[in-house]
Amino acid sequence: MTAPKDWEGILDEGEAIRWQGRPGGRVVWQVQHVFTFLFGLAFAGFAVFWMIMASKAGGGFWMFGLIHFSVGVGLAVGPPFWNAWTRGHTWYTLTDRRAIIATDTPFLGRKLQSYPIAEDTAIEYQPGDPATIHFAHEYRRGKNRSRRVAIGFERIEYGQEVYRMIREIQKGAE
């Protein structure tokens, strides 16, 4: 069997696509967004206070507060919208050997990540509509520490069916 035209050079010899899909692009507020929302709100609130006080002195100096106000609003509402925007530029593929996550975002460019599905691959299924299936983890460094980030097919339709396919691939890898 030959690979589809767009997949030439990406799939291994004899590898077959089992499923393809895209994550839901809806804006979703999550627990981890609460801290940045509150911090951004406080930051923007202080900027408004500062602009009001600076405007009483006269002149246009108060406009420098607009930068801080914008940053505060961005911190408050940016993360859920950024996540939704990123999901809107993401494609998922499941083959009979691995899971592939492709992204094509302006400024960041195209990226193709591949994760083998083996017998010992830990699979985490979060049922729902939409569902999420995690099959890998990576550590991302921050300024002071690194954090573990789950990787997988997020917010997909027919998650139970995709989960079943992954389990079949694992059984076939035995």
Is the pLDDT confidence value at 1 over 50?
no
Q: Which ranges of the chain does DSSP label H, i.e. alpha helix?
A: 33-55, 65-87, 159-172
The pLDDT tens digits for 119-144 are: 999 999 999 889 999 999 999 888 88
Does the model's pTM come out above 0.85?
Answer: no
Pair of tokens at residue 57: 């002195």
Distance CA 60, CA 46 (A): 18
The pLDDT tens digits for 164-173 are: 999 999 988 6
Distance CA 51, CA 64 (A): 8
The pLDDT tens digits for 147-166 are: 888 999 999 999 999 999 99
**Highest-confidence segment of 4-13, 80-89, 122-131:** 122-131
Distance CA 36, CA 1 (A): 49
